[in-house]
Structure formats: C-alpha cells, structure tokens
C-alpha cells in the first residue's frame, strides 16, 4: 500500500530528474534520444515538457516510468522520486510504484484500456491490483474517479465497453484510471493532442482542478506551447535530446533566454502581425545519430559565436531560470 | 461589436477589397453530400432475423452555400468530423456532391464538357494533411511532381528536367534531391513535395486541407510563409481548411465556421475574432488555448460533439448551447446576413 510519503521525504520535490541520459543502441549507431535532461516538479505542480517531434520527450517520459525497452537503455543520470533514486528500485518495487504512486497517460487511450473488458471490470481490477479493498469499495472509487474527470452518469458509464465512448471520453476514462490510486506523480504524454479543442478544454480544466486539490504532481508532455501556457507552472524546453531552458512558464514564454525557445515562440502565428511573414527558425533539427560538435543549435542559431563549439551547460543565469547557452537573451530580460 | 467598428477594422487591415457583386471563382449553392454507412455483419444478421435495422446515412455536408472570390483566402474551421474535408474535396472537384450546384467562374461544372471540364478541374488543386499518405512511396520526387504536367501537356519530355527543377525550387526544395523517394524526406520537406506537385499543373485555386497540422511550429512557420509568398507571386486563391484558429486568423481574409455538416457563421476574419455572433463560434474561440494565457481556468463548452449519424434536430448545437430555447430544438436556423459581410445561423438573431 501507499507507504512512500513519509515525513523524511515530504520535503523533497515529487520528482527530480538530473542529467538523465537514455540511448538506443541501434545497428545504424547510438541514438542519443535523451542526452542531458534535468528538471524538478514540486507537489501539486504541473511541468510542461515541450519540444519538437523527435526531441526526446516521449523517451524521457518512458525513462521515468522505467519502461524503456532494448535496444534502449538509461545510461546516465538519476531520477529521484520523493527523494529516492528510482535506479535503486527493483523491478518488483517499480511494478508496485507504477499505476499506484506513479501513473502514465498516453496519447492513445487504448494503450491503457482493454478493448474487450467493460470499464468497471478494468477499473476494479486496477484498484484491487494494489490495494486490498472489497469490490463494492473499488466500484465506488471507480465511480468517483469517473465523476472527477467530468463523465456524466458514471454509474451507467461503468457498464460500457471502450468502443462505446468517443475519443475524448476514452481519454477521460484513461485519466480516471490513472487517478484511481491518487498517485503522487502523473506522466502525461500528449494526452489531448488528438482531441478537438472544446473537448481538450474540458479535460485541461479537470486536470488543473485535480492537481490543485489532490497535490498530484504532473509532467505534461506536449509540443503545443499554448496548452502549456494555460496549464503549467513551469516549463522545460527540449532540443535534440537535451533540456535547453527551464523556468517559470510565464517568465520563459514572455522573456525566453535560449535562442531556440526565442525562435520557437516567435514563430507562433499569434505572436506575429496578421498577414505578415511569420518569423521562422531556419534549417532543420539535426539527426540524433550524428549531432554537430558543441551546441546542437549552432547551425540554426542567429547568436552563434566561436565559443559555441563547446557544449554549454544548463546554467542558472537568473534566479530559478536556467538556460543551456553561452549567449542567452539577457538584454531582453533586463529591458523588461 | 458595432457596425462602425467592424467597418473601420476591415478597412484598416484587409489588404484587398472584395465586392459582393463580382462573380466568385468558386461558388457552392445548397451543396449536400451524404454517405451511406454500410451495415456490419452483426447488423446484417440482426436485420435478417427481423430487427428494424436500416443503413445509416451521414450528412457529411448539409445544404452549404459558399463563395470564394479570386485572390481571396477563405479559412474553413470546425471540429473533427464536421465535414471540412468533404466540402474541400467537393470544391476541388475530386468528390461529387449528392445535391446542389458547384460553379467555377460562374459556370456550373456539371455542364462543362471536354477540354473546358478538364482544364477547370486542373485549375483547382488540393494539398493534404498527411504529406506521406498522399505521396506514392514508390515514385521518385521528379515523377511525383512532373507526371501530371507531362500528361496534360504543360511540359515535354525534352523540358521535363528543367520544369521539375523549377517547381521544386519554387516550393523550397533542392532539385538535387529529385531522384529520391518520399521516405527520404522530413515531414516539412514532404509537405513541400505536395505543394510542388499541386503547383506544377498551374492551378489558380488551392484547397489546403490541414496542410500544416502534422508539422512542428518552426517548420509550420516556414510552410505558411511559403503559402503566403506563392499567393502573392502566382495570384492564387485559397480555401484553407484548419482546426487551428491561430493559423486561420493569421492568413485568411474571411472565415467560415462549420458544425456537424452545416455552415453556422461566416464573416471577415477580424470580425470573427472580435465580434463572433454564433454561440458555437463564441465557445470555440473561448476553448482555444492561447500562448498569452497564464494559469487560467479553461473555458469549457459542456457536452460531447454529437454523432453525425444521429445529429440533434433543429439547431445541431442546441444540446451544448447555453442560450438554447424551445424553438432551437425543432427548427433549423437559417444562415442569414446580420451585418455587412457577416452571416450567422442562430434564432437569437430573430429576437432583436
Ligand atoms: N467515404 C466516407 N464514407 C462514409 N462516411 C464518410 C466518408 N467520408 C467522410 N465521412 C463522414 O462524413 C463526416 C465528415 O467527414 P470529414 O472528413 O469531411 O470531416 P472533417 O471536418 O474533415 O474532420 P477532421 O477535422 O477530422 O478532418 C464524418 O462523420 C465522416 O465520418
Ligand atoms: N526504439 C527506438 N529505437 C531507436 N530510436 C528510437 C526509439 N524510440 C525512440 N527513438 C528515437 O529517439 C528520439 C526521441 O524520440 P521521442 O522521445 O519519441 O521524441 P518526441 O516524443 O519528443 O517526439 C527520436 O530520434 C527517435 O527516433
Ligand atoms: S550556445 Fe551559441 S549556438 Fe548555442 S544557442 Fe547559445 S548562442 Fe546559439
Ligand atoms: S439557434 Fe438556439 S441552440 Fe442554436 S446556437 Fe442559436 S440559440 Fe443556440
Ligand atoms: Mg512523443
Ligand atoms: Mg479532415
């Protein structure tokens, strides 16, 4: 049963990832999918992890769950969950944590749901997998969880099969399952990307309420800066396998330090004058199989200089604001 | 919300003036498209055993009027399954309508014959969401881009290479890559191949169906800039289908909003974003996450999007509408003009 939140660990942040490295040892070479990822999520806080496709967001999420399959392997760094390194946990202990203290929500809810089982069967099984409770109590928990994610008439809905739900409803059920044990941490990988905006809005509102009321910490993975703007407390920006910027979501979006974050935000249509050409980042993301020497953003960066041939560290340029860059946009922060 | 405000805005920002009287390049009159949803085995069996099971009909597009004038960019928005792609395919001439008329430069396309019909169709091209699925994986880029122009006599065997090079360069692709296959390109480059292919037959009108939806923001900006440049250089007209209101706001002159097969509102872009009339448009705008928002409570529209197989009677939006009243449940509201250039289909407009 839930035993992890002891007085000794209560002060530690829910999740602290330090210099995480996860590589895939493929025949074509070593894919450095995650090559230096660090961030912290406090209790009840939402961290938005953003970056373009292939930047390593999903692999980061899977690494935290310790669900990376060969040829992939965590090769460096540490993942501290409530102060304790997950690397020291046995597979048995991990199985206990997963679905109980740490839950994952996937982009495709059918990764969570079993198509041939009724919703109540699945939810009751999930509850009883980690706790000794009666079926009636488990059912009551399932009903409450469905109510919490805004599913109307949960008693009736419990008797349905997944295919009887719309995409948005299915995703809500998957979120409800993730909530069953009131986990301390939820890793959510693009859970609303495939949904329509009105349905996405409903789910985001529920998620926000939930973290605030239950103290659950959330890692929200997305490529959509606008979703993160409204949902998250902090933001971590990834580029080519590394976190390049970390900080308070408002500060980072208003005054980005890293040239990549700067370019990314600048290219969002609403940050441009109507009808005028959008500001764009030239070039393309480099291949993770052979990254350039030094800063990976060098070939596309308008501020690149000779010293960028040396890979920068994620440095605290300002209080609570980190950037992996030799020449961050400090002048714009000062001007504010 | 006042009329004067609307006029001053459209004059200040619209780069072009479109008159209501000119003949539209493309016009749809009361166009509908129905699809029969085939019965599955279980349903067929049930019917054989005497159950009252009928083939279900989806009204993907339901009596739509649409006008796009030369040089205009019309944004078409709405949620998944509301009929945007179906409407786009009808406009592009690659899907026949079940009912209604499609006019090209004022002429009913069903009355066009031979060469005129062929050219009319070539002039309307479509660019798709998934650049990979819409490109033949076994064809080299040169053939993907150059095949149609060759067949239609826009180029010759002798000039083929120069022609293809020019098309690729215009879409921002290095002609050195023309011997490659689609899988050897990134998502953004594949979308450029789709653009080069569409432009190679010298179209005047392009339907873009979620053409940047699958791309990352920084690549999306490159492609959107390309669309805008091509519009200026080649005097193109676009129907721009997207669920991304930020993108639509940025490049459209006018926006058309659909809900479950019907057009519910249509207005100049500034008007839609500053003074939307239809309750659905208002809810949609309130739901869109914006990068300027901070830790805000997300506005929510209640309820699910109903099944298009069994849409609610009367106004399709009534089960989710905060203003619905008795009449909305029985009578379909008509799309009618409520301000210059702005049309909306809501019974609330009759009350005033
Ligand atoms: N060939 C077909 N056979 C049966 N039904 C179809 C067919 N094509 C479309 N439909 C139905 O018609 C409706 C409108 O579909 P359409 O593809 O036009 O939607 P859309 O607005 O483009 O959605 P999205 O945003 O998801 O692309 C949907 O209910 C869809 O399932
Ligand atoms: N099983 C795998 N084998 C080899 N490479 C992989 C595997 N899974 C992911 N990768 C690579 O790792 C990188 C990061 O992937 P991912 O985390 O899925 O990106 P994101 O979620 O940010 O789009 C990509 O280059 C991807 O191709
Ligand atoms: S380290 Fe140099 S190349 Fe890299 S982002 Fe900073 S300025 Fe640009
Ligand atoms: S017609 Fe009625 S239900 Fe439909 S949008 Fe207007 S007020 Fe709402
Ligand atoms: Mg991913
Ligand atoms: Mg579509």
A299-333: per-residue pLDDT in tens? 999 999 999 999 999 999 999 999 999 999 998 88
- State the distance from the centre of ligand 3 to the C-alpha of A147, rounded, in angstroms: 48
The rounded percent of chain A whose pLDDT value lies above 90 is 60
Q: Which of A198, A223, A280 sits opposite B284 (nearest CB)?
A: A198
pLDDT (0 to 100) of residue A103: 93
Contact A268 B291 (CB under 8 A): yes
Mark the residues whose beta carbon lies below 5 A from ion ligand 5: A 58
Q: Is B51 on the interface with A (CB under 8 A)?
A: no
Expressed in angstroms, the distance from the first to the final Cα of chain A is 50
Give the span between the Cα atoms of A278 and B130, in whole angstroms: 22
CB atoms within 10 A of CB A26: 11
Contact B297 A208 (CB under 8 A): yes
Looking at the complex, report in whole angstroms how far the Cα of residue B301 sits from the nearest Cα belonging to chain A: 6
Looking at the complex, report in whole angstroms how far the Cα of residue A280 sits from the nearest Cα belonging to chain B: 6
pLDDT (0 to 100) of residue B131: 67
Q: Which of B218, B291, B300 sits opposite A201 (nearest CB)?
A: B300
Give the span between the Cα atoms of A39 and A30, in whole angstroms: 24
pLDDT (0 to 100) of residue B261: 94
Scanning A272-301 for CB atoms below 8 A from B yields 272, 274-275, 277-281, 284
pLDDT (0 to 100) of residue B14: 44
Alpha helices by DSSP H, B156-212: 160-170, 187-199
Substitution target in A167, A201, A220 with the highest count of B β-carbons within 10 Å is: A201
Scanning B121-160 for CB atoms below 8 A from A yields none
Topology annotation, domain A12-101+181-270+279-335: Rossmann fold (3.40.50)
pLDDT (0 to 100) of residue A318: 95
Give the span between the Cα atoms of A307 and A299, in whole angstroms: 13
ipTM for the complex?
Answer: 0.81
Q: Is B291 on the interface with A (CB under 8 A)?
A: yes
pLDDT (0 to 100) of residue B193: 92
Q: Is B15 on the interface with A (CB under 8 A)?
A: yes
Walk along chain A (336 residues) and give the pLDDT tens digit of each residue. Answer: 444 444 445 578 999 999 999 999 989 889 999 999 999 999 999 999 999 888 999 999 999 999 999 999 999 999 999 999 998 899 899 988 988 899 999 888 888 899 889 999 999 999 998 889 999 999 999 998 888 787 878 888 899 888 888 788 888 899 999 988 889 999 999 888 778 888 888 888 888 888 888 899 999 999 899 999 999 999 999 999 999 999 999 999 999 999 999 999 999 998 889 889 999 898 878 878 878 899 999 999 999 999 999 999 999 999 999 999 999 999 888 876
- Taking every pair of Cα atoms in chain B, the longest distance, rounded to a whole number of angstroms, is 69
Instruction: Find chain A residues with C-beta within 8 A of B186's C-beta.
Output: 284
Contact residues of ligand 1, CB 6 A cut-off: B 35, 37, 58, 60, 78, 80-86, 243, 308
Alpha helices by DSSP H, A98-196: 119-130, 135-148, 154-157, 167-179
In the predicted model, residues of chain B with pLDDT beneath 70 are: 1-20, 39-43, 51-54, 131-132, 297, 352
pLDDT (0 to 100) of residue B211: 87
Question: Structural domain boundaries of chain A?
Answer: 12-101+181-270+279-335
Give the span between the Cα atoms of A196 and B58, in whole angstroms: 20
pTM as predicted: 0.86
pLDDT (0 to 100) of residue A212: 85
Query: Using an 8 Å Cβ cutoff, are A314 and A322 in contact?
Result: yes
CB atoms within 10 A of CB A229: 25
């Amino acid at each position: 049963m839930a035993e992890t939140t002891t007085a000794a660990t209560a002060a530690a942040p829910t999740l602290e990832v330090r210099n995480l490295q996860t590589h895939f040892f493929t025949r074509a070479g070593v894919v450095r999918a995650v090559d230096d990822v660090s961030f912290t999520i406090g209790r009840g806080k939402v961290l938005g992890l953003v970056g373009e496709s292939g930047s390593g967001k999903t692999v980061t999420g899977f690494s935290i769950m310790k669900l990376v399959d060969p040829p992939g392997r965590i090769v460096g760094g540490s993942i501290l969950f409530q102060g304790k390194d997950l690397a020291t946990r046995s597979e048995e202990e991990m199985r206990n944590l997963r679905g109980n203290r740490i839950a994952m929500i996937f982009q495709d809810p059918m990764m969570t749901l079993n198509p041939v089982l009724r919703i109540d069967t699945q939810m009751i099984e999930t509850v009883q997998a980690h706790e000794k409770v009666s079926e009636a109590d488990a059912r009551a928990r399932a009903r409450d969880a469905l109510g919490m994610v805004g599913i109307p008439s949960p008693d009736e809905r419990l008797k349905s099969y997944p295919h009887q739900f719309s995409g948005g409803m299915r995703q809500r059920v998957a979120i409800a399952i993730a909530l069953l044990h009131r986990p301390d941490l939820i890793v959510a990988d693009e859970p609303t990307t495939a949904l329509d905006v009105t349905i996405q809005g409903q789910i985001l509102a529920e998620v926000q309420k939930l973290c605030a009321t239950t103290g659950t910490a959330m890692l929200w993975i997305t490529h959509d800066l606008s979703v993160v703007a409204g949902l998250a407390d902090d933001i971590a920006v990834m580029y080519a396998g590394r976190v390049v910027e970390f900080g308070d979501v408002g500060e980072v979006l208003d005054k980005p330090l890293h040239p990549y974050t700067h370019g990314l935000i600048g290219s969002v249509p609403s940050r441009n004058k109507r009808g005028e050409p959008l500001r764009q980042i030239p070039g393309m993301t480099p291949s993770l199989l052979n990254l350039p020497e030094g800063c990976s953003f060098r070939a596309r960066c308008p501020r690149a200089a000779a010293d960028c041939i040396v890979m920068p560290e994620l440095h605290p340029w300002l209080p609570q604001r980190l950037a992996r860059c030799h020449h961050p946009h400090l002048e714009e922060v000062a001007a504010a | 919300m006042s009329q004067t405000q609307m006029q001053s805005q459209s004059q200040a920002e619209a780069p072009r003036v479109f008159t209501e009287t000119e003949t539209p390049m493309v016009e749809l009159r009361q166009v509908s498209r129905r699809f029969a949803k085939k019965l599955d085995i279980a349903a067929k069996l049930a019917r054989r055993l005497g159950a009252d099971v009928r083939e279900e009909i989806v009204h993907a597009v339901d009596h739509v009027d649409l006008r796009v004038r030369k040089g205009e960019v019309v944004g078409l928005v709405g949620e998944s399954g509301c009929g945007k792609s179906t409407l786009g395919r009808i406009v592009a001439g690659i899907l026949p309508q079940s009912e209604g008329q499609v006019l090209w430069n004022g002429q009913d396309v069903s009355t066009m014959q031979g060469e005129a019909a062929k050219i009319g169709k070539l002039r309307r091209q479509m660019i798709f969401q998934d650049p990979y699925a819409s490109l033949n994986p076994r064809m080299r880029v040169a053939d993907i881009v150059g095949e149609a122009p060759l067949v239609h006599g826009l180029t010759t065997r002798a000039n083929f290479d120069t022609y293809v090079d020019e098309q690729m360069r215009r879409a921002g692709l290095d002609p050195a890559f023309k011997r490659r296959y689609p899988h050897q390109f990134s998502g953004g480059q594949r979308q450029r191949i789709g653009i080069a292919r569409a432009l190679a037959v010298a179209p005047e009108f392009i339907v873009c169906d979620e053409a940047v939806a699958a791309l990352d923001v920084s690549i999306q900006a490159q492609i959107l800039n390309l669309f805008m440049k091509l519009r200026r250089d080649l005097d193109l007209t676009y129907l721009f289908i997207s669920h991304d209101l930020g993108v639509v706001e940025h490049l459209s002159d006018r926006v058309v909003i659909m809900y479950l097969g019907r057009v519910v509102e249509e207005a100049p872009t500034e008007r839609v974003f500053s003074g939307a009339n239809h309750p659905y448009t208002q809810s949609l705008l309130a739901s869109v996450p914006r990068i300027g928002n901070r830790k805000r409570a997300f506005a929510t529209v209640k309820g699910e999007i109903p099944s298009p197989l069994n849409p609610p009677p009367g106004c399709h939006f009534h089960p989710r509408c905060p203003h619905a009243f008795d009449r909305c449940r029985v009578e379909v509201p008509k799309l009618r003009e409520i301000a210059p250039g702005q049309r909306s289909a809501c019974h609330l407009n009759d009350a005033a």
